[in-house]
């Protein structure tokens, strides 16, 4: 029995010596800085006793534990710092951004972080982007005016500015009744180049007002396609004559009852109502006009990161192609 115990002891001693030689060899060849030694100890603490490694590698165990606690502390500090940045971006966007856009925003600021990590932190903090509601169509296509074919045919990615403009009208509920928002969007960079907000649905106050702004902001190039739905504001003679006066614009209209033919314009209204209106209290028309101005001119056209532009804002997208003269 004693012989067996003696053999076991000798076997353990031999294994310990082998491990010690391995650690000493590692010390000679790989460890030149204290932090590298600590890192080796940390990575092997489940294999070798920490105190033994510290002894062989000629460092104090107390020094190792201080280093390890600092590493953990730094990791927690970085996590808390990133959570603060996520929270800041989330509320600066007025709760409009989810994890994909917040990730891009953080990466643009120099943080190396994945969308999965951002989503995990947002879930921990209970931060969720505003949820959308089902979109309601408000087009009045019951009229006897001339309509045209769908020339655009869902080709939503032109390669140059002022090749395709799309337009649509939606209603916005306020404490004092409805406002009607009309937009003109350049499909190239998704910028709202013209818009109007009115209390009535007249052609003059809706599309003609938005059209005038659009032509002030961007040049009407030969071959421009102007696409809309079949609503009376777009089909009537007053607006048709304005488009025809340019002699270089191709008119295009969505097929009857097919909102997907004007999906980009519909998508903008969905974003606006989700990010600005749904879930908030009703406000006056005057207050709503200020909110819409801020959303379009300050947020959407300047700061918002667009998935269609590879999560760049409009200025960043245009600058990469040196389209700095695009308004």
Confidence at residue 297, expressed as pLDDT on a 0 to 100 scale: 96
Kindly indicate whether the domain formed by 164-320 is annotated with CATH number 3.30.420.10.
yes
Confidence at residue 68, expressed as pLDDT on a 0 to 100 scale: 78
Q: Which residues contact 209 (CB under 8 A, 6 or more apart)?
A: 182, 196, 198
d(CA 66, CA 138): 66
d(CA 265, CA 263): 6
| Strand duo 177-186 + 164-174: pairing | antiparallel
Residue segments in the chain with a per-residue pLDDT below the cut of 70:
1-32, 72-74, 130-144, 323-327
3-state secondary structure the chain: CHHHHHHHHHHHHHHHHHHHHHHHHHHHHHCCCHHHHHHHHHHCCCCCCHHHHHHHCCCCHHHHHHHHHHHHHHHHHHHHHHHHHHHHHHHHCCCCCCHHHHHHHHHHCCCCCCHHHHHHHHHHHCCCCCCCCCCCCCCCCCCCCCCCCCCCCCCCCCCCCCCEEEEEEEEEEECCEEEEEEEEEECCCCEEEEEEEECCCCCCCCHHHHHHHHHHHCCCCCCEEEEECCCHHHHCHHHHHHHHCCCCEEEEECCCCCHHHHHHHHHHHHHHHHHHHCCCCCCCHHHHHHHHHHHHHHHHCCCCCEHHHCCECHHHHHHHCCCCCCC
| Tokens at 62, concatenated | 């107390």
| Tokens at 157, concatenated | 């990615």
d(CA 105, CA 110): 9
Confidence at residue 31, expressed as pLDDT on a 0 to 100 scale: 44
Closest CA to 195 of 324, 300, 311, 309: 300
The domain segmentation of the chain, as residue ranges, is 2-59, 67-125, 164-320
């Amino acid at each position: 029995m004693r012989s067996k115990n003696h053999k076991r002891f000798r076997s353990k001693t031999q294994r310990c010596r082998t491990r010690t030689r391995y650690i000493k060899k590692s010390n000679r060849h790989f460890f030149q800085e204290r932090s590298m030694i600590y890192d080796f100890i940390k990575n092997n603490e489940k294999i070798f006793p920490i105190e033994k490694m510290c002894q062989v590698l000629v460092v104090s165990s107390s020094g190792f534990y201080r280093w390890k606690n600092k590493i953990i502390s730094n990791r927690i500090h970085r996590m808390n710092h990133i959570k603060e940045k996520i929270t800041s971006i989330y509320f600066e966007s007025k709760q409009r951004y989810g994890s994909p856009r917040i990730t891009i925003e953080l990466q643009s600021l120099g943080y190396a972080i994945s969308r999965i990590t951002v989503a995990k932190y947002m879930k921990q903090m209970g931060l969720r982007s505003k949820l959308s509601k089902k979109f309601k169509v408000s087009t009045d296509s019951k009229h006897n005016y001339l309509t045209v074919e769908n020339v655009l045919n869902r080709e939503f990615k032109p390669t140059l500015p002022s090749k395709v403009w799309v337009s649509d009208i939606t209603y916005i509920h306020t404490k004092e009744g409805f406002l009607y928002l009309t937009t003109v969007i350049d499909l190239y960079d998704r910028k709202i180049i013209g818009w109007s907000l009115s209390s009535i649905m007249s052609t003059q106050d809706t599309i003609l007002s938005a059209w005038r702004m659009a032509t002030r902001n961007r040049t009407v190039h030969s071959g421009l396609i102007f696409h809309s739905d079949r609503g009376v504001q777009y089909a009537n003679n007053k607006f048709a004559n304005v488009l025809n006066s340019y002699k270089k614009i191709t008119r295009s209209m969505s097929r009857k009852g097919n909102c997907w033919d004007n999906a980009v314009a519909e998508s903008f209204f969905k974003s606006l109502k989700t990010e600005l209106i749904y879930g908030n209290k009703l406000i006056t028309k005057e207050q709503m006009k200020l909110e819409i101005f801020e959303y379009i001119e300050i947020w959407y056209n300047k700061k918002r990161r667009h998935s269609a532009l590879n999560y760049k804002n409009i200025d960043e997208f245009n600058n990469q192609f040196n389209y700095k003269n695009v308004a």
